[in-house]
Amino acid sequence: MKLFARHRRDRRLDKDLGRGLWRQARDRFARGLDRYHQVIEGVEDDAVHNHLVAIGDELAEQLPSVQDLCTHAHRLFPGEGMDIPGRASELHSQLSKAANHMATTAEAAAMVRLGSAEVVAVRRRADRVLSSLQDAEAALERIR
Protein backbone atom coordinates (compact mmCIF):
# COMPACT_ATOMS: atom_id res chain seq x y z
CA MET A 1 0.00 0.00 0.00
CA LYS A 2 1.31 3.39 -0.91
CA LEU A 3 2.37 5.79 1.82
CA PHE A 4 -0.37 8.36 1.23
CA ALA A 5 -3.10 5.75 0.90
CA ARG A 6 -1.99 4.16 4.17
CA HIS A 7 -1.94 7.57 5.85
CA ARG A 8 -5.49 8.34 4.66
CA ARG A 9 -6.70 4.91 5.82
CA ASP A 10 -5.09 5.38 9.23
CA ARG A 11 -6.63 8.84 9.64
CA ARG A 12 -10.05 7.47 8.74
CA LEU A 13 -9.64 4.63 11.23
CA ASP A 14 -8.58 7.13 13.91
CA LYS A 15 -11.73 9.13 13.19
CA ASP A 16 -14.05 6.11 13.18
CA LEU A 17 -12.45 4.06 15.97
CA GLY A 18 -10.26 6.37 17.98
CA ARG A 19 -6.87 5.13 19.09
CA GLY A 20 -7.89 3.10 22.08
CA LEU A 21 -9.76 -0.07 22.84
CA TRP A 22 -11.90 -0.34 19.72
CA ARG A 23 -9.06 0.47 17.35
CA GLN A 24 -6.97 -2.20 19.01
CA ALA A 25 -9.77 -4.75 18.64
CA ARG A 26 -10.07 -4.05 14.91
CA ASP A 27 -6.32 -4.01 14.36
CA ARG A 28 -5.78 -7.33 16.18
CA PHE A 29 -8.27 -9.02 13.88
CA ALA A 30 -6.70 -7.42 10.79
CA ARG A 31 -3.19 -8.50 11.84
CA GLY A 32 -4.38 -12.09 12.32
CA LEU A 33 -5.99 -12.00 8.89
CA ASP A 34 -2.81 -10.63 7.32
CA ARG A 35 -0.79 -13.34 9.02
CA TYR A 36 -3.15 -16.02 7.73
CA HIS A 37 -2.68 -14.83 4.16
CA GLN A 38 1.10 -14.66 4.59
CA VAL A 39 1.17 -18.24 5.83
CA ILE A 40 -0.89 -19.71 3.01
CA GLU A 41 1.28 -18.11 0.34
CA GLY A 42 3.83 -20.87 0.90
CA VAL A 43 1.46 -23.82 0.48
CA GLU A 44 2.65 -25.79 -2.54
CA ASP A 45 -0.20 -28.28 -3.00
CA ASP A 46 -2.71 -26.54 -5.30
CA ALA A 47 -5.80 -28.29 -3.92
CA VAL A 48 -4.87 -27.51 -0.32
CA HIS A 49 -3.92 -23.97 -1.26
CA ASN A 50 -7.30 -23.45 -2.96
CA HIS A 51 -9.14 -24.67 0.15
CA LEU A 52 -7.11 -22.36 2.36
CA VAL A 53 -7.68 -19.42 0.02
CA ALA A 54 -11.44 -20.01 0.13
CA ILE A 55 -11.35 -20.02 3.94
CA GLY A 56 -9.18 -16.90 3.90
CA ASP A 57 -11.58 -15.13 1.57
CA GLU A 58 -14.47 -15.95 3.88
CA LEU A 59 -12.55 -14.56 6.84
CA ALA A 60 -11.46 -11.47 4.90
CA GLU A 61 -15.12 -10.75 4.15
CA GLN A 62 -15.59 -10.34 7.91
CA LEU A 63 -13.16 -7.42 8.30
CA PRO A 64 -15.76 -4.78 7.32
CA SER A 65 -18.14 -6.31 9.89
CA VAL A 66 -15.45 -6.17 12.55
CA GLN A 67 -14.77 -2.56 11.67
CA ASP A 68 -18.50 -1.74 11.80
CA LEU A 69 -18.82 -3.42 15.21
CA CYS A 70 -15.87 -1.45 16.51
CA THR A 71 -17.15 1.80 14.99
CA HIS A 72 -20.55 1.36 16.66
CA ALA A 73 -18.85 0.47 19.93
CA HIS A 74 -16.67 3.58 19.72
CA ARG A 75 -19.75 5.74 19.13
CA LEU A 76 -21.48 4.20 22.15
CA PHE A 77 -18.39 4.12 24.35
CA PRO A 78 -15.92 6.70 23.06
CA GLY A 79 -12.50 6.87 24.59
CA GLU A 80 -8.83 6.72 23.81
CA GLY A 81 -7.84 4.44 26.66
CA MET A 82 -7.86 0.71 27.14
CA ASP A 83 -10.50 0.55 29.88
CA ILE A 84 -13.43 -1.67 28.93
CA PRO A 85 -16.77 -0.06 29.79
CA GLY A 86 -18.91 -2.42 31.87
CA ARG A 87 -21.80 -2.52 29.43
CA ALA A 88 -19.39 -3.30 26.59
CA SER A 89 -17.53 -6.14 28.27
CA GLU A 90 -19.33 -8.93 26.41
CA LEU A 91 -18.91 -7.17 23.05
CA HIS A 92 -15.22 -6.60 23.68
CA SER A 93 -14.79 -10.16 24.89
CA GLN A 94 -16.32 -11.58 21.70
CA LEU A 95 -14.21 -9.30 19.49
CA SER A 96 -11.14 -10.38 21.42
CA LYS A 97 -12.09 -14.04 21.01
CA ALA A 98 -12.57 -13.53 17.29
CA ALA A 99 -9.07 -12.03 17.01
CA ASN A 100 -7.60 -14.86 19.09
CA HIS A 101 -9.37 -17.45 16.96
CA MET A 102 -8.10 -15.63 13.86
CA ALA A 103 -4.56 -16.06 15.17
CA THR A 104 -5.10 -19.77 15.89
CA THR A 105 -6.55 -20.16 12.39
CA ALA A 106 -3.30 -18.76 11.00
CA GLU A 107 -1.38 -21.19 13.23
CA ALA A 108 -3.46 -24.10 11.94
CA ALA A 109 -2.77 -23.00 8.36
CA ALA A 110 0.94 -22.94 9.18
CA MET A 111 0.68 -26.50 10.47
CA VAL A 112 -1.06 -27.51 7.23
CA ARG A 113 1.72 -25.82 5.27
CA LEU A 114 4.27 -27.88 7.22
CA GLY A 115 2.30 -31.07 6.63
CA SER A 116 1.44 -31.55 10.30
CA ALA A 117 -2.30 -30.87 10.09
CA GLU A 118 -5.27 -31.11 7.74
CA VAL A 119 -7.43 -28.37 6.24
CA VAL A 120 -10.32 -29.51 8.46
CA ALA A 121 -8.41 -28.09 11.46
CA VAL A 122 -8.23 -24.70 9.74
CA ARG A 123 -11.95 -24.86 8.92
CA ARG A 124 -12.78 -25.67 12.55
CA ARG A 125 -10.84 -22.66 13.80
CA ALA A 126 -12.29 -20.38 11.13
CA ASP A 127 -15.76 -21.44 12.25
CA ARG A 128 -14.85 -20.27 15.76
CA VAL A 129 -13.94 -16.87 14.33
CA LEU A 130 -17.31 -16.65 12.62
CA SER A 131 -19.15 -17.80 15.74
CA SER A 132 -17.42 -15.20 17.91
CA LEU A 133 -18.35 -12.48 15.44
CA GLN A 134 -21.99 -13.58 15.50
CA ASP A 135 -21.86 -13.44 19.30
CA ALA A 136 -20.33 -9.95 19.08
CA GLU A 137 -23.18 -8.83 16.82
CA ALA A 138 -25.68 -10.18 19.32
CA ALA A 139 -23.87 -8.44 22.19
CA LEU A 140 -23.99 -5.13 20.33
CA GLU A 141 -27.73 -5.56 19.72
CA ARG A 142 -28.29 -6.09 23.44
CA ILE A 143 -26.41 -2.87 24.24
CA ARG A 144 -28.36 -0.72 21.80
Query: What percentage of the chain has pLDDT greater than the value 70?
Result: 88
Q: What is the mean pLDDT of residues 42-68?
A: 96
Of 9-18, 81-90, 95-104, the poorest mean pLDDT is in 9-18
User: Taking all residues of the chain, what is their mean pLDDT, rounded to a whole number?
Assistant: 91
What is the spatial distance between Cα 131 and Cα 89, in angstroms, rounded to a whole number? 17
Contact (CB, 8 A) for 65 and 133: yes
**9-48 per-position pLDDT tens digit:** 656 755 667 777 998 999 999 999 999 999 999 899 999 9
Q: What is the mean pLDDT of residues 81-110?
A: 95
Compute the Cα dihedral for 92, 95, 100, 103 and give only its sign. Answer: negative
Q: What is the mean pLDDT of residues 103-127?
A: 97
Compute the Cα dihedral for 124, 100, 56, 36 and give only its sign. Answer: negative
Q: Nearest 5°: CA angle at 77, between 126 and 88?
A: 50
